């Protein structure tokens, strides 16, 4: 009898469970809508995100359907709209709260992006943004940092293979980005991903100009990896809309190939290996160079650990540009102790390959150079952004059996003899300066006060006679000061670098101009194409020292009405102090021409450095006058300037 009673209890329990399941099934859509409402309210309250939808329901057991779905930021920076969405999630995944769909169908997907919290945004947009967005905007400072933050990289490597292994069909995709006068639109009439095979054809419009693209790829490794090729349809290059991230950037390629496999997926950590290759690159940005840059090939092989707070490339990683291979280790951290660490140590490489890898015409001064031997490049940088003074930096390009067989377009040895230097004035005017004894303003080193020579070396490049064109310590100090000041406060250029810039390069502050400058300096110094004394002599005879004042002879006359050989210690230190900004020399004087107080520490610092190096005696340092009295045309110029104000 007991067993019979137990049997009925079991039947009751089963009946109750069936009834509960039946009730849940019949109420599945109301429950689904209730949960959606809770999620939407939470997103709005915590993340300033809105979610709107029409007719959400569950068809069958595990088919989720929306008649219309819209989501976005309340600031208007991002919005996503789909006419219809249907997602099928296997029951076993639902039971484990794994919401990855096995089948996803979307009709008419529309994505709109616009800048947010940028310097041109309205105050209303800023005030509407959440506190976390404001903090991120202040810390990062621009769209590039926001869109390419470590958290976004972490999400990309985690989600893309995950979605690529699902069956996805999207009928018509439209994505647009509008920023000031810049409009980008991407349209695809179909996107499919079936059995891991990915295919789509896109039309990319940049300000109304179309380029067509085909995407082929596949997912592998049980959804942990993806392999994708992107190529242009027709003769045009693929016009990539990277100016969404970096304004004014024009970046085009013939094709792209990338692949990665997530070998280890932990809760917050991804270890991934892969590669990315770009073929037939053509790019332009005014901060890079004055002309388009053409690169046949660029790629990266990487092993990477990615967490929400850290991105790193391990020792298996390397970058390739044309024929040059560069091993690289990298660490980026945006945790409570933001940190950047870079280590590059190449093997010995054929030196001719280094110069052949430079796109033709990019470094015009060395076009056609022929070399032999090998080079080895080493760079180490470790920066704690919270403590810039702790920055560690070392860089070296080591020549091994290196020699120049023939110089290219420019023979840098020509300056060892007499030559004519052209300086550029305002309104595109030029002035030619002949560096030869026939020029009454030309001075050899022996005709210049030792005070002036030593003050300039101390102020601009203390290791001038000891390094080979680069001062790692000086560059490290300048970089740390720039980070603390949050602006370009010091350049870190040596005297040789300044001279090369003046003689051979334009004055635009461009990245590739700095690289060309560095390479020319390396050639001149390591191959001793120009001796140190001659470098200093040219430098002192051509540099800007005031309004249309070039060279030490003109400067001595303009400021002190004397010959350079007769300059006193305080006058020499003053002239050295205004080299970074000579046209602003008037800021050192009041309206009556008296030297202002406030530069005593600078005068004292330079004099003490000169004494410690044996350039002046202790008595000269102690008797130094902290200031100068203008006696030349500069005094009248200062008087006219004060009247004009």
Which residue has tokens 């800048």?
115
Residues 260 and 365 in one domain: no
Angle formed by the axes of helices 633-644 and 551-560, to 10°?
Answer: 70
Residues 405 and 521 in one domain: no
Residues 500 and 543 in one domain: yes
Q: Could you give the residue ranges of the DSSP H alpha helices within 108-203?
A: 123-128, 131-140, 143-147, 150-164
For the stretch 130-176, pLDDT in tens is: 444 434 433 433 443 443 455 666 666 666 666 666 788 888 888 88
Asked whether residue 43 is assigned to any structural domain, the reply reads: no
What per-residue string of b and e applies to 237-269 under the rule 16 or more CB within 10 Å gives b?
A: bbbbbbbbeebebebbbbbbbbbbebeeeeeee
Summarize the confidence of residues 568-592 as an average pLDDT.
90
Residues 551 and 596 in one domain: yes
Q: Residue 379 to residues 123, 329, 353, 396: CA-CA distances in angstroms?
A: 43, 10, 19, 7
What does the angle CA 513 – CA 519 – CA 522 come to, to the nearest 5 degrees? 140
User: Which one of 306, 338, 370 terminates a domain?
Assistant: 338
Task: Give residue 43's pLDDT.
Answer: 79
Q: Which residue has the higher pLDDT, 277 or 176?
A: 277
- With beta carbons less than 8 A apart as the criterion, state whether 109 and 174 touch: yes
Asked whether residue 489 is assigned to any structural domain, the reply reads: yes
Asked whether residue 47 is assigned to any structural domain, the reply reads: no
**What CATH number should be reported for the domain holding residue 611?**
1.10.3810.10
Residues 550 and 596 in one domain: yes
Residue 356's domain spans which residues? Answer: 339-410
Q: Does the pLDDT of residue 490 top 90, yes or no?
A: no
Residues 367 and 509 in one domain: no
Residues 583 and 462 in one domain: yes
Other residues' Cβ atoms within 10 Å of the Cβ of residue 235: 5
Q: Which residue has the higher pLDDT, 162 or 581?
A: 581
User: Which one of 373, 390, 410 terminates a domain?
Assistant: 410
- With beta carbons less than 8 A apart as the criterion, state whether 310 and 332 touch: yes
- Distance (Å, whole) CA 615 – CA 453: 10
Q: How much is the CA Rg of the chain, to the nearest whole Å?
A: 33
Asked whether residue 350 is assigned to any structural domain, the reply reads: yes
- With beta carbons less than 8 A apart as the criterion, state whether 58 and 51 touch: no
**Looking at the 3D structure of the chain, how many domains does it have?**
3
Task: Give residue 27's pLDDT.
Answer: 65
Q: Does the pLDDT of residue 642 top 60, yes or no?
A: no
Asked whether residue 45 is assigned to any structural domain, the reply reads: no
Residues 345 and 256 in one domain: no
Residues 234 and 358 in one domain: no
User: Which one of 386, 410, 434 terminates a domain?
Assistant: 410
What per-residue string of b and e applies to 295-325 under the rule 16 or more CB within 10 Å gives b?
A: beebbbbbebebbbbbbbbeeebbbbbeebb
Q: What stretch of H or E contains 228? A: strand 225-232
Q: Would you give the distance in Å from CA 335 to the centre of its chain?
A: 20
Lowest-pLDDT choice from 15-19, 257-261, 432-436? 15-19
For the stretch 96-129, pLDDT in tens is: 777 778 888 889 888 887 764 443 333 334 344 4
Record the tokens describing residue 577, joined without a space: 């102090």
Asked whether residue 11 is assigned to any structural domain, the reply reads: no
Q: Does the pLDDT of residue 627 top 50, yes or no?
A: yes
Task: List the beta bridge partners of residue 324.
Answer: 321
Task: Give residue 265's pLDDT.
Answer: 63
Task: Give residue 643's pLDDT.
Answer: 47
Residues 271 and 288 in one domain: yes
Task: Give residue 342's pLDDT.
Answer: 87
Asked whether residue 24 is assigned to any structural domain, the reply reads: no
Residues 181 and 77 in one domain: yes
* Torsion (CA) 18, 21, 27, 30 in degrees, nearest 10: 170
Residues 331 and 450 in one domain: no
Other residues' Cβ atoms within 10 Å of the Cβ of residue 90: 15
Task: Give residue 458's pLDDT.
Answer: 95
- Name the pLDDT band for 337 (thresholds 50, 70, 90): low
For the stretch 34-71, pLDDT in tens is: 877 888 888 788 878 888 888 888 888 888 888 888 88
Q: Give the residue from 489, 575, 520 showing the smallest Cα distance to 408.
A: 520
Q: Give the residue from 460, 546, 448, 466 showing the smallest Cα distance to 501.
A: 460
Task: Compute the mean pLDDT over every residue in the chain, rounded to the nearest whole number.
Answer: 82
- With beta carbons less than 8 A apart as the criterion, state whether 391 and 383 touch: yes
Q: Does the pLDDT of residue 482 top 80, yes or no?
A: no
Asked whether residue 16 is assigned to any structural domain, the reply reads: no
- Distance (Å, whole) CA 579 – CA 459: 9
Q: Residue 603 to residues 43, 491, 564, 593: CA-CA distances in angstroms?
A: 60, 21, 19, 19
Task: Give residue 180's pLDDT.
Answer: 66
- Name the pLDDT band for 553 (thresholds 50, 70, 90): very high
Q: Give the residue from 245, 231, 246 showing the smallest Cα distance to 277.
A: 231
- Distance (Å, whole) CA 312 – CA 302: 10
């Amino acid at each position: 009898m007991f067993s019979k009673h137990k049997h009925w209890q079991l039947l009751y329990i089963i009946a109750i469970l069936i009834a509960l399941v039946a009730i849940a099934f019949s109420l599945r859509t109301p429950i689904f809508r209730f949960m959606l409402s809770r999620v939407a309210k939470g997103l709005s309250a915590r993340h300033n995100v809105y979610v709107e939808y029409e007719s959400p329901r569950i068809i069958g057991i595990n088919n989720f359907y929306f008649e219309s779905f819209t989501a976005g930021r309340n600031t208007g920076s991002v919005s996503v709209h789909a006419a219809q969405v249907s997602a099928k999630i296997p029951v076993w995944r639902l039971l484990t709260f794994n919401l990855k769909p096995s089948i996803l169908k979307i009709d008419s997907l529309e994505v709109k992006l616009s800048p947010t919290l940028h310097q041109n945004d309205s105050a209303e947009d800023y005030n509407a943004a959440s506190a976390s967005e404001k903090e991120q905007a202040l810390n990062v400072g621009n769209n590039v940092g926001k869109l390419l933050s470590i958290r976004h990289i972490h999400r990309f490597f985690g989600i893309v293979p995950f979605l690529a292994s699902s069956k996805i069909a999207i009928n018509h995709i439209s994505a647009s980005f509008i920023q000031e006068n810049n409009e980008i639109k991407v349209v695809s009439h179909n996107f499919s991903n079936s059995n891991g095979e990915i295919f789509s054809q896109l039309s990319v419009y940049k300000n109304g100009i179309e380029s067509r693209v085909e995407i082929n790829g596949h997912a592998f490794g049980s959804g942990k990896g993806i392999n994708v090729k992107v190529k242009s349809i027709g003769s045009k290059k693929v016009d990539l809309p990277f100016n969404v991230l970096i304004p004014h950037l024009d970046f085009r390629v013939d094709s792209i190939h990338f692949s990665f496999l997530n070998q280890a997926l932990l809760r917050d950590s991804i270890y991934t290996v892969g590669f990315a290759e770009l073929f037939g690159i053509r790019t332009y940005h005014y901060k890079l160079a004055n002309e388009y840059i053409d690169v046949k090939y660029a790629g990266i092989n990487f092993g990477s650990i990615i967490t929400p707070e850290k991105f790193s490339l391990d020792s298996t990683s390397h970058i390739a540009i044309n024929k040059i291979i560069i091993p690289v280790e990298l660490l980026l951290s945006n945790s409570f102790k933001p940190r950047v660490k870079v280590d590059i140590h190449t093997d010995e490489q054929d030196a001719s390959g280094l110069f052949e890898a430079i796109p033709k015409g990019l470094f015009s001064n060395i076009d056609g150079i022929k070399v032999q031997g090998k080079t080895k490049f080493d760079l180490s940088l470790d920066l704690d952004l919270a403590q810039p003074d702790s920055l560690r930096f070392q860089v070296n390009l080591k020549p091994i059996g290196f020699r120049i067989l023939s110089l290219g377009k420019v023979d840098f040895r020509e300056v060892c003899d007499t030559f004519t230097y052209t300086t550029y004035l305002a309104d595109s005017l030029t002035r030619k300066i002949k560096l030869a004894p026939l020029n009454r303003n030309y001075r050899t080193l022996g005709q210049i006060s030792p005070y002036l020579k030593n003050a300039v070396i101390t102020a601009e490049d203390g290791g001038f006679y000891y390094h080979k064109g680069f001062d790692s310590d000086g560059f490290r100090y300048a970089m740390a000061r720039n980070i603390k000041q949050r602006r370009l406060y010091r350049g870190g250029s040596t005297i040789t670098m300044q001279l090369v810039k003046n003689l051979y390069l334009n004055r635009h502050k461009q990245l590739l101009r700095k690289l060309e400058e560095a390479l020319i300096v390396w050639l001149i110094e390591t191959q001793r194409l120009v001796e140190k004394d001659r470098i200093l002599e040219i430098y002192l005879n051509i540099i800007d020292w005031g309004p249309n004042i070039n060279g030490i002879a003109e400067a001595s006359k303009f400021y002190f009405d004397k010959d350079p050989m007769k300059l006193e210690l305080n006058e020499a230190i003053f002239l050295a102090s205004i080299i970074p900004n000579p046209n602003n020399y008037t800021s050192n004087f009041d309206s009556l021409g008296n030297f202002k107080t406030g530069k005593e520490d600078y005068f004292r610092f330079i004099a003490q450095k000169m004494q410690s190096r044996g350039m002046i005696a202790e008595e000269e340092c102690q008797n130094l006058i902290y200031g100068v009295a203008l006696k030349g045309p500069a005094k009248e110029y200062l008087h006219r300037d004060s009247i004009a104000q």
